[in-house]
Amino acid sequence: MEKFVINGKTRLEGEVIINGAKNAAVAILPATLLVNGICTIENLPNISDINIYCDILRTLGVKITKTAPNTVVVDTRDVNYIDAPLDMTSKFRASYYLIGALLGRCKRAVVGMPGGCKLGARPIDQHAKAFECLGAKVDIGQGKIVATTDGLVGNSIYLDIVSVGATINAILASVLAEGTTTIENVAKEPHIVDVANFLNTMGADIHGAGTDIIKINGVKELHGGTYSIVPDQIEAGTFMLAAVATRGDITIKNCITKHLDVLSAKIEEMGAHVEEISGDTLRVWCDKKPKCVNIKTLPYPGFPTDLQSQMGIVLATADGTSIVTESIWESRFQYTAELNKMGAKINAQGNVAFFDGVPELYGRPVSASDLRAGAALIIAGIAANGVTEVSNIEYIDRGYENIEDKFKALGADIKRVTE
């Protein structure tokens, strides 16, 4: 087991380059199954979720060759479909995209019940609803999902809940379906637009991704091509908040500044500074104690739940009491108990937490409860007085490439040790 040991009280300064978006990559890789050809995927983050995904695709007959540190060539011409290995697919959440992609390509999908970060109940009823609307039969039970069809046919899909995964899965299943599909009440996150852009580059006919209604005209087949994954909005936001939490000064390169508008506005509301240097570079700095602010997590373009815990580190030492309302995941406040061990004063009740700002945090042994909580606890350790040990870091490796090297380059004293 590995852990991070952080010697704290460091003001982070310097530049960081953001990798490709994890949440786009875990959808685009399975989306290549809809292509009968060769795709070159650039800006693919080198993270454990992606490595697992590549291994799963290889079991289906996909040939994947790494041609550069963040580029793979994916050859899907010989997909000899067998059921996806249940033990591998149940390791992480985004394996649910195999259902939409395999239904589209092979008319049958068998996938282990998706695992992943323990953020509370993670139902997939909206995914099933979308597949059924398109003419699939979906059975959920005994640790797996089995979806079959005689042929998918375009239809109108109205999602009851704004869901990133169900929106992408509905797109994947519709691309090769016969006729036209419209999907309403969709999620609009940047990675949804990215998946649609990838598929359109390969010959799909998808309109409206990023708006309220997505329309897909089914096509007969997709061809190969080259696609570069969008920069990771959440990784960029993590470093923006690290700058504020450590009263530091970080220039964030290779991000899409527009995707970060909601966070930039909150950072400025706290009295810290955000300067847009260009469309893909932001500078964030903080020279005094930030003011308390209230936040409520919402689907894009609202405040992302995936930045709630990193923001929580900032609010733990802000001036006054901040109120945070989590409206997406019921278990997303687990990190507050760890932060309280470090001297924070946070009272989490249900989906609301009250953060009474304290003068400073103190290094302690803490444990990551999920990917983003893990990144947040690293930031807490860098800001805190003394030594912090963060365990359960396999969660962090799922979604951040070289996180300790990036923090080290900004001045942090952090090392990975084997327990």
Active site residue ranges: 117
Phi, psi at 292, each rounded to 5°: -65, 150
What residues are paired with 274 via a beta bridge? 284
- Residue 342 tokens read as 């470090």
Separation of alpha carbons 405 and 395, rounded Å = 17
Residue 71 burial (C-beta neighbours within 10 Å; 0-12, 13-18, 19+): middle
Report the nearest approach of ligand UD1 to the CB of residue 246 (Å): 24
Report the nearest approach of ligand UD1 to the CB of residue 233 (Å): 11
User: Beta strand 281-285 with 273-278: parallel, antiparallel or unpaired?
Assistant: antiparallel
Q: Name the one residue in this structure whose structure tokens are 């300064």.
A: 13
SS3 state at 347: strand
Q: Which is nearer to ligand UD1, 295 or 414 (CB)?
A: 295
Compute and round to an integer the Cα radius of gyration of the chain: 21
Q: Which of 206, 232, 202, 229 is nearest to 218 (CA)?
A: 206
Q: Which is nearer to ligand UD1, 306 or 401 (CB)?
A: 306
Residue 391 amino acid letter: S
Give CA separation, 413 vs 196, 237, 339, 385, 410, in Å: 40, 21, 19, 12, 9
Stretch (H or E) spanning 74: strand 71-75
Q: Which of 139, 117, 131 is nearest to 159 (CA)?
A: 131
Q: Which is nearer to ligand UD1, 124 or 199 (CB)?
A: 124
Q: List contacts with ligand UD1 (CB under 6 A).
A: 23, 26, 93-94, 121-127, 161, 163-166, 187, 305-306, 328
Cβ(111)–Cβ(152) under 8 Å?
A: no
Q: Which of 7, 14, 20, 5 is nearest to 236 (CA)?
A: 20
Report the nearest approach of ligand UD1 to the CB of residue 236 (Å): 15
Residue 203 exposure: Cα atoms within 13 Å on the Cβ side = 15
Report the nearest approach of ligand UD1 to the CB of residue 2 (Å): 23
Q: Which is nearer to ligand UD1, 180 or 331 (CB)?
A: 331
Q: Name the one residue in this structure whose structure tokens are 């084997």.
A: 418
Sign of CA dihedral 289, 295, 298, 300: negative
Sign of CA dihedral 281, 190, 290, 395: negative
Q: Which is nearer to ligand UD1, 306 or 338 (CB)?
A: 306
Report the nearest approach of ligand UD1 to the CB of residue 350 (Å): 14
Q: Name the residue number minimizing CB distance to ligand UD1.
A: 165
- Residue 213 tokens read as 């209604």
Report the nearest approach of ligand UD1 to the CB of residue 11 (Å): 29
Sheet holding 352-356, edge to edge: 295-296, 321-325, 352-356, 345-349
Characterise 5 by phi-psi region: left (phi > 0), alpha (psi -120 to 50), beta (else). Answer: beta
Q: Which is nearer to ligand UD1, 258 or 408 (CB)?
A: 258
Report the nearest approach of ligand UD1 to the CB of residue 67 (Å): 25
